[in-house]
Amino acid sequence: MSQRMIYQTETTRLKILEQAETCFSDSGFFETQMKDIAVATGMSRNTLYRYFRDKTELGLAILELTLNRKIEKLSDKINRALKDDHRLALEKISTLFREVYEEEGNETDDRFIAEFDAFYSGARIPEGFRAKVKNAINIAATGQLDDLIEAGKIDGSIRKDIDTHLMSLTLTTALHSFHQRMLLRGPALVELDENEGPELLPMLLQLLTDGMRAHK
């Protein structure tokens, strides 16, 4: 057992995570430093570093909590959609993602994920980053969207000539990338007029679902 682990308690760790989430929410991931979190928790930086080596390690811990919260919500929505026998799967997918990205109360988590992804990009991606994130989240839950797409291929609403998993990845990546760009840059996008922003998500969903639709 490392010397760091000997002096750790779960209560203190949870306190650090709670205060770090608040700091990242209030000031943004870019601007928040470990010294700011130490002040917020009322502990010394030495104590803070016994729990988290640096902002990367702390940020990954917050990312794990944030992603798993979002995946749990998404999983619940997909399960309910799979049990809904009154609509075709393609319609359920469109409704699902409209709810996910328009639902109130998600902006804090979404903004943290967007800022974290923007910060750790390019040359700043730490060694072993992909494996750490993959191990931190419930990857299995994300496969439920594949099940919903498969249901659409069976009910005839979704085309069968594209691999199910690739279709799922394309859909989620397109929507996630769009959402992050609007969160981080929306007000500063020079190509948009002020009233055009809210129209883009429904338009993107329409284009994506049209591309998934089974050919008649």
Q: What is the pTM of this model?
A: 0.84
**Lowest mean pLDDT segment, chosen from 135-139, 185-189, 207-211:** 135-139
pLDDT (average), residues 85-113: 90
pLDDT at 1: 44
Q: How confident is the model at residue 6 (pLDDT cuts 50, 70, 90)?
A: low
Counting every residue written for the chain, the total comes to 216
> 97 CB contacts (<8 Å, ≥6 apart)?
171, 175, 205
Going through 8-131 in order, the beta strands assigned E by DSSP cover none
Domains of the chain by start residue, with CATH = 1-53 (1.10.10.60), 69-212 (1.10.357)
**Mean per-residue pLDDT of the chain:** 89
- Cα dist. 205→60, 166, 212, 214 in Å? 30, 17, 10, 16
pLDDT in tens, 48-62: 999 999 999 999 999
pLDDT in tens, 157-191: 999 999 999 999 999 999 999 999 998 888 888 88
Q: Which position has the higher pLDDT, 3 or 55?
A: 55
- Estimate the crossing angle of helix 107-119 against helix 55-83, to 10 degrees: 130
DSSP string, 66-113: HHHHHHHHHHHHHHHHHH--SS-HHHHHHHHHHHHHH-TT-HHHHHHH
